[in-house]
Amino acid sequence: MINKTNLKSLSKDELAAFVGAMGLPRYRAQQLFHWIYERHASSTDEITEFSMELRNTLRDVAYISNLALVKKLTSQDRTEKFLFALEDGNTIECVLIHDEERITLCISSQVGCAMGCSFCLTGKSGFVRNLKSFEIVDQITAVNKLIRPERISNIVLMGMGEPLMNFDEVVDALWRIVDFIGVSKRKITISTAGIVSKLRLFAEKAPEVNLAISLNATTDETRNELMPVNKTYPISSLIAACKKYPLQPTRKITFEYVLIEGINDSVEDAARLVHLLKGLRCKVNLIPLNVDMENGLRRSLDSKILAFQNILQNNRIRALIRESKGQDILAACGQLRAG
């Protein structure tokens, strides 16, 4: 592929410029776009709308990148996990979740993760590199091809990596998901550990997708232990940024709270969470810990989970208990490891 242009790396304007530089009429760019993003062509040879001569000419100067499926696992609950290889040999995972009304794909934004959250397996392998915007989008294209005639309806950036630490590529990918793939902004959610310095800029630059904040503690002491990012962006600064985050009238910020036995699941924690979220238009997803880590972290007891939920709901905070799917294939929240 040396010196060849990857057509998936190009924006619409860049694709038009590329076609123009080849001396082709502008409508050829729209045809290419159609074959890449709607027909899911994996090579220029598949574009039968072009003459053989044009396909040969195009093959000499361009190619269409594709994620290579390395492994697919299917859970007892129908959740599917895909391990894909990138062009450089690195691997990433994404997870397809089937619900009654939607098909959701959880995609990755980085190879590995640098956040080092103690309850998450992804960070155990360390950070390798950021994904390019087309690699982020290509997870959707690749899975859509595999599940035809079904089609992904919802996207969550909750896979490997911290999206806001790959800011420019993620923002570009979100616009491509909306404009190229045709997924509604209301059906896309980005989850962040709380990179405060990027939140306002994200609201300005990205499409108006749903925002989820991985909170997981109500004191800096506890959150410092669970999520080292808190040492840079403590809870007070994170909550202040959330209060300033521009929301459309019907939108809410989702706060994700992984419940860990004896660490963050007490009645006092629930009361502090009520106080922290006062005045915020939000909801809370309570997520029982999915894995028993080497450091001894354990899932909260069901009785504590219900008590925690009741305290939030009694204070008019919508709180849902989210039992993650795909745990038997290590596809649940915090379990992705790209291998």
pLDDT in the model for residue 129: 96
* Assigned CATH class of 68-329: alpha beta
Pick the CATH number of 5-63 from 2.30.42.10, 3.20.20.480, 1.10.150.530, 1.10.490.10: 1.10.150.530
Contact status, residue 31 vs residue 50, Cβ threshold 8 Å: yes
Q: What is the pLDDT of residues 250-295, one digit of tens each?
A: 899 999 999 999 999 999 999 999 999 999 999 999 999 876 556 6
d(CA 10, CA 33) in angstroms, rounded, equals 10
For the chain, residues classed under CATH 1.10.150.530 are: 5-63
Considering the entire predicted model, what is its pTM? Answer: 0.92
Q: What is the pLDDT of residues 129-163, one digit of tens each?
A: 999 999 999 999 999 999 989 999 999 999 999 99
Q: pLDDT exceeding 90 applies to what percent of the chain?
A: 83
Contact status, residue 130 vs residue 109, Cβ threshold 8 Å: yes
Q: What is the pLDDT of residues 98-138, one digit of tens each?
A: 988 899 999 999 999 999 998 887 777 789 999 999 999 99
Q: Is 204 a catalytic site residue?
A: no
Q: Is 294 a catalytic site residue?
A: no
For residue 98, what are the CA distances in angstroms to 76, 105, 154, 237, 280?
A: 12, 9, 10, 36, 31
Q: Which of 106, 242, 282, 333 is catalytic?
A: 333
pLDDT in the model for residue 290: 77
Burial label for 6, CB within 10 Å (0-12, 13-18, 19+), is middle
For the chain, residues classed under CATH 3.20.20.70 are: 68-329
Q: Which of 80, 93, 162, 256 is catalytic?
A: 93
